[in-house]
Amino acid sequence: MKHLLSINDLSRDEAILILDTAAELARISDGPMKKLPTLRGRTIVNLFAEDSTRTRISFEAAAKRLSADVINFSAKGSSLSKGESLKDTAQTLQAMGADAVVIRHPASGAPFRLADNQWMSGAVINAGDGTHEHPSQALLDAYTIRKHLGKGAKDLSGLRVAIVGDILHSRVARSNVLLLAKLGAHVTLVAPPTLLPFGVDSWPVTISYDLDSVLPQVDVIMMLRIQQERMHEIFFPNAREYSRYFGLNRDRVKALNSNAIIMHPGPMNRGLEITADAADSARSVIVEQVSNGVSVRMAILYLLLGGAPIEGGIN
Amino acid sequence: MSYLLKNATLPNGKSSDLAIQDGHFVATGSLAENHKVIDLAGKQVLPGLVDLHTHLREPGFEESETVATGSLSAVRGGFTAISAMANTSPVADTAGVVEQVYRLGQAAGLCDVFPIGAVTQGLNGQTLSEIGAMADSSARVRVFSDDGKCVFDPLIMRRALEYVKKFDGVIAQHAQEPMLTQDAQMNEGEISAQLGLKGWPAVAEEAIIARDVLLAEHTKSRLHICHLTTAGGVEIIRWAKARGIQVTAEVTPHHLLLTDDYAKNYDPIFKVNPPLRLESDVLALRAGLADGTIDIVATDHAPHSSESKDCEWSVASFGMVGLETALSIVIKTMVETGAMNFEGVADRLSIAPARIARYANHGQNLEVGDVANLTVVDAAAKWTVDRDLMSTRSKNTPFHGFELPGVVTHTFFNGKLVFGE
């Protein structure tokens, strides 16, 4: 595993190794010495060509706890916003000796272009590309699910997960569908037909347009953010109607199984896809997802960079 | 210069000697003494190929291609007549611009370069351009197209179809419903869903084809559909022809070979408008070309500078170069599969396009008295495409590294040997 571009890059065993490593790193982080020396002297660049606070901070915290040097490179005020090409940016990072680039980019596939073109030699980690994938989010979601409902199992066999909302534009959904299927969970996608991709029939999932019928049948309900800009693209009549059919509110929380957990990748639109009392209920693991995110990203960086021999001498 | 071409294999499969003198095919007995003899044993001859669809980028985008470099690329691919689409800068929407392009072609002197006029001013889709003036100009434009953009407004399309009847013109439609393809990146299907690239549904193409064949029927005008890509589109054209509607259609070489599978690594060398479709579409296009539902192959040669392809998929330009690989792809996909013989190739790549565009002196049958526009191809020989060895100014071929059959060895234009020895 040289890069993490897509969940497809991971075998089931590699995915489980990441979750296990994250659990071990979390255990160490809970001890007195939060910081590990593993990546001392390594340089990790956070290349964020799209606004993101939580994912960038999460990767930054993960890298720093492993003692790596972190350079943050965000679109605003950087050369990316001045029309510099991705290729030139990549070559610049290469020249600066980046060992890994964590990239968030509005164009689907941009991390593939970084990794495939010999523009740079470091590891590329996809931190969300367009409407394609967000593999580290899926891994932290799987980690969170396993921790709560795994009953000591390595994978998620037999667990039932509903992903609700804007599947069409969601990189979180794409990565989660791939990973949850790999780990043996059964996934149901719940959305209005307008927010499901044309080719969804071939995905390893069940499709439903009816949230209320799905609620009592799942162990996990994962709510996706409805982006404000979609409001103007006639995917649904208005926010009120969307919430009525697809929002998670107090009554729907009551319809859930007694052991079911509520997840959301954030940032939430409280009152739209999820009400405040649902988000803050005892079932909600949304805040915990954030802290698990740091452990999982530490595991990703550790496994991609840690202990690997430095190729060609000086990096 | 006079030429005696010995042992040539004609499109009908028969072997014959051909004599060329003073720009025409002549009887072998009437050749002058000092003619050059070229032995074509084992080689296939075709009437000089005719391309109804190229982008030569001049005026305005000379860093990607010029009329001269495009002409050289054309004759290396075996073409003796090419058509230059109107989406230059300025747009070819006046007699002045089409005459300029035509003159640049004459100056290059390698093949005929026939400009295509814009249907609407500046390709704005709203106001008819000076269609009559372009038809009457020295370029004698007969084909009009807003290619790159669809003539979306049905009333404008109707008027354009009617207007060109005055001089037996034809409207070449880029069938793409704009509202269904906003920001679209690739064929809408399983792969676009997986890649998270915005889909370009087949219906966006088919809806316009269906509308326009009905308009052509109503106006009794001539319609040509550019770069057909879908099985459904082939069905609509088949239906329209059965009704007697005057519609013709083209397919590009790349749509005869490539599918949307090639998008999987996000390399924009495979990004093209209209997009690569499914294997079932490719097979339907081949069948349509073989049975004549699709009349011609046209390259949609679309040169782009390397920086517009060496980037993220969604910001990359649409298009591929195609002049130097077209005949090879047709041999690979149609002849080697047994779907078509070289009589069919001569028809789809020369005779039919010349007839649709009313290009005199092209698409003839290599008979004594005809203008000597001729392509010689070693159909069995293989070659490996190398983007660095092509004559086009741009390198955006999707076929780099492909081994293809069919090496063009000679191209004669107006009796002159413009490519080969």
Q: Return the bridge partners of B197, or none.
A: none
Measured distance CA(B74)–CA(B51) in Å, rounded: 9
Per mean pLDDT, which range of A45-49, A71-75, B382-386 is the poorest? Answer: A71-75
| Average pLDDT score over residue span A94-112 | 93
pLDDT of A118 = 76
H or E stretch at A237: none
The answer to the question of residue B4 being in a domain is no
Own/partner long-range contacts of B331-334 (Cβ < 8 Å, ≥24 apart): B331/B377, B331/B379, B331/B404, B331/B405, B331/B406, B332/B257, B332/B404, B332/B405, B332/B406, B333/B253, B333/B256, B333/B257, B333/B286, B334/B256, B334/B286, B334/B289, B334/B290
Each residue of A197-242: pLDDT tens digit? 998 999 999 999 999 999 999 999 999 999 877 777 889 999 999 9
The answer to the question of residue B179 being in a domain is yes
B291 pLDDT higher than 90: yes
The answer to the question of residue B180 being in a domain is yes
For residue A174, the distance in angstroms to the closest alpha carbon of chain B comes to: 7
A129 to chain B: nearest residue by CA? B196
Amino acid sitting at position A147: K
Q: Which residues in chain A have Cβ-Cβ distances shorter than 8 Å to B313?
A: 107-109, 113
Each residue of B113-137: pLDDT tens digit? 999 999 999 999 999 999 999 999 9
Q: Choose, out of B195, B198, B262, B264, the residue to mutate when testing the contact with A (most A CBs < 10 Å).
A: B195
pLDDT of A33 = 80
Domain that holds residue B122: 48-364+382-401
Q: Pull the structure tokens for residue B219.
A: 């106006």
φ and ψ at B123, to 5 degrees? 55, 30
By Cβ distance, the residue of A86, A200, A203 closest to B311 is: A86
**pTM assigned to the model:** 0.94
pLDDT above 70 covers a percentage of chain A that reads 94
Please confirm, yes or no, whether B22 is among the known catalytic residues: no
For tokens 């919430």, the residue is A243
Q: Which residues in chain A have Cβ-Cβ distances shorter than 8 Å to B307?
A: 85
User: Using an 8 Å Cβ cutoff, are B165 and B178 in contact?
Assistant: no
For residue A106, the distance in angstroms to the closest alpha carbon of chain B comes to: 9
Q: Return the bridge partners of B117, or none.
A: B144
For residue A290, the distance in angstroms to the closest alpha carbon of chain B comes to: 25
Measured distance CA(B132)–CA(B421) in Å, rounded: 42
The answer to the question of residue B413 being in a domain is no
Measured distance CA(B174)–CA(B119) in Å, rounded: 11
**What does pLDDT average to over chain A?**
91
From the candidates A12, A38, A54, A113, give the one annotated as an active-site residue: A54
A142 pLDDT higher than 50: yes
| Average pLDDT score over residue span A88-93 | 87
Burial of B258 (0-12, 13-18, 19+ CB in 10 A): buried
User: The domain spanning residue B187 has which CATH number?
Assistant: 3.20.20.140
Measured distance CA(A148)–CA(A275) in Å, rounded: 22
From the candidates A55, A131, A144, A188, give the one annotated as an active-site residue: A55
Measured distance CA(A52)–CA(A284) in Å, rounded: 22
| Cα distance between the two ends of chain A | 19
Q: Pull the structure tokens for residue A270.
A: 């409280």
ipTM greater than cut 0.85:
yes
Q: How many domains does chain B have?
A: 1
CATH topology of domain A7-134+291-305: Rossmann fold (3.40.50)
Q: Return the bridge partners of B170, or none.
A: B143
Interface membership of A104 toward B (CB under 8 Å)? no
The answer to the question of residue B274 being in a domain is yes
Burial of B381 (0-12, 13-18, 19+ CB in 10 A): middle
Outline which parts of chain A fall under CATH 3.40.50.1370: 7-134+291-305, 135-290
Each residue of A262-284: pLDDT tens digit? 999 999 999 999 999 999 999 99
The answer to the question of residue B119 being in a domain is yes
The CATH number assigned to the domain with range A135-290 reads 3.40.50.1370
The answer to the question of residue B375 being in a domain is no
Of B319, B351, B238, B242, the residue nearest B285 (C-alpha): B238
Each residue of B60-111: pLDDT tens digit? 999 999 999 999 999 999 999 999 999 999 999 999 999 999 999 999 999 9
The answer to the question of residue B407 being in a domain is no
Q: Return the bridge partners of B143, or none.
A: B170
